[in-house]
Amino acid sequence: MSNADILANKRHTLAHLLAATILELYPDAKNTIGPAIDNGFYYDFEFTSPLSENDLVKIETKMREILPSWSQFKHREVTDKEAKVIYTNNPYKLELIDEIVAKGEPITLYTIGNFTDLCRGGHSEAPNTDIDPAGFKLDRLAGAYWRGDSNNTMLTRIYGLAFDNQVELEDYVAKREEAEKRDHRKLGKELNLFFVDDTVGKGLIMWLPNGTIMRNEIEKLAIAMEDKGNYQRVSTPHLAKEELFLRSGHLPYYKDGMYPPMVMDDGTYYLRAMNCPHHHTIYLHLPHSYRELPIRYAEYGTVYRNELSGTLAGLLRVRGLAMNDAHIYCRKDQIKDEFKNVMALVMEYFKIFNLSDYWFRLSKWSPEHLDKYINEPANWDFAETVLREVLVELGVKFTEVEDEAAFYGPKVDVQFKSAIGREETMSTIQLDFVAKTRFGLTYIDNEGKDNNEVFVIHRAPLSTHERFMAFLIEHYAGAFPTWLSPVQVAILPVAEAHDKFAEEVVTKLKEAGVRVEYLASGDSLGKRIRSVKTSKVPYFVVIGDKEKDSGNLTIENRAGDKEEILTEKLVEKLQTEIKNRS
């Protein structure tokens, strides 16, 4: 048995221990179900009177009192009639018993100490010695409908944390506290970056001036990098006719992810959920020679995904997404080099943002799920082989997974572990061998003939803007590098007598292209300094008599480091940091 399985069994055992404790302390309570989960366990109960968070300490203490007597589980199979006698007064268990019978499965009871539960198994062999009493704690209360159905009774769910020992438990709690401090939703509000308004709609992000500055800086970076890579910028509409998405194959393959159709007087339209069909149409607008390929079209375009409201989560899952998108149209012999170039671009971005904990995942098709994929085995084999060779030749860390490809071809997903420990897919590079057929993509080859071997690489190295911003907010904990920070330096005159000189400094900084905030002398200096630090501004300068008379400024950074510097040198210092994105 693996360590993960052993830990899962401990957590399941602790769920039983919680239920036993509740029934001892609250005999009128009805226990329902209690599984192990990623960080511990929970159990749902119906109580005759409500619990409070303060009750958790009492319950947890009682659990530790009972644990030493729990030496071994005993299990037995019973008939449904026997089980129903035991749980006569518990309608939740009676419902579960009927389900087990309907499935033709055995009914098993597990007993330990004075507690018996309806259970399939999976417990510690000797709880009183296997489980560290300091390795678990009750965490919180929550409401939960029975079986997750809002038409059913609202139950009380008690969550517990559980690890192999106290050190691991405390480490998890510390990391979670850090994650809460870094949560992009919390920091986004504190730093005035974005918000969501119900009158606009869930999952539709409203970017405030500070957040828009960051968006613009990231887009400027994308434009600069793509200029170096010989990309051509294009702009396309946010919607298109049904015929376009039928041609691309997004209808019907991606229909559930698209908004409902809009029937107009000249046809049926859809909001786009992707940019590629529009870019393919641009490629088709003019004939192309083999000498022109590869052609790289880039767009920081907005798309719309029909996500269920319950799945939306801050910036991580939204309905309106701005994508750092591009499509590369290349010959078959150019695929490998173009894919390598995109990989190099991805890694250069990550170097700029000081991101290092990432790896790649080759996502392949599954011939057993032809409802999800184009049925062209030879093309799948060729495309997957090319991408694998690229990954091997680059010497990067990667894994391979089945049944995760796009419907039109394999992809390389960029996997990250965020600063708060969450593993997620940051961005994707996809090889498309279907568009050439569906759209009739061709080029004039060196013999003057039409050649339809046009392969398309879809790439969005900075993911969607929303997901990438969530990642950056948490990665930097809101303390962004100077080039990205909405405000790069704050100027604070001590008193009204220093305002004029302070304003002169502000003017010079603004003329040099520095984003500067001027906090005039109205409020107390201490209050203004606290405001600057709370806003995580990279630098601030306090201007008093000494600075006014000498022209020599003292600049202080977020870490509290100070440096005396002339105004001209301050301008030069900030311009250099901004230009180098350091």
Check if the beta carbon of residue 126 is closer than 8 Å to that of residue 71: yes
- Closest by CA to 579, choosing from 520, 524, 512, is 512
> Which amino acid would we find at residue 486?
P
Cα separations in angstroms, 341 against 25, 455, 459 = 65, 15, 11
Per the rule left: phi > 0, alpha: psi between -120 and 50, beta: everything else, 565 is beta
**Rg of the chain's alpha carbons, rounded to an integer?**
30
- Closest by CA to 114, choosing from 47, 34, 17, is 17
Residue the block writes with tokens 């008690």: 158
- Closest by CA to 241, choosing from 253, 250, 229, 231, is 250
Tell me the C-alpha distance between 220 and 429, whole Å: 21
Tell me the C-alpha distance between 42 and 10, whole Å: 13
Q: How far is CA 309 from the centre of its chain?
A: 16
Q: How many residues does the chain have?
A: 582
Give the Cα-Cα-Cα angle 338, 298, 425 (nearest 5 degrees).
Answer: 70
Tell me the C-alpha distance between 296 and 409, whole Å: 19
Alpha helices, DSSP H, located in 53-163: 55-66, 80-86, 91-103, 127-130
Q: Does the annotation place 276 within a ligand binding site?
A: yes
Tokens of 100: 């087990």
Give 408's Cβ-side CA count (13 Å radius). Answer: 25
Tell me the C-alpha distance between 42 and 16, whole Å: 9
List of E strands, 190-244: 194-195, 206-207, 232-233, 239-241
Check if the beta carbon of residue 577 is closer than 8 Å to that of residue 482: yes
- What is the bridge-based pairing of β-strands 115-118 and 107-112? antiparallel
Which residues have C-beta within 8 Å of that of residue 398, sequence separation ≥ 6? Answer: 359, 360, 361, 362, 391, 412
Q: Does the annotation place 280 within a ligand binding site?
A: no
Q: How far is CA 180 from the centre of its chain?
A: 15
Q: Does the annotation place 285 within a ligand binding site?
A: no
Q: Point out the annotated binding site.
A: 276, 327, 458
Q: Point out the annotated binding site for Zn(2+).
A: 276, 327, 458
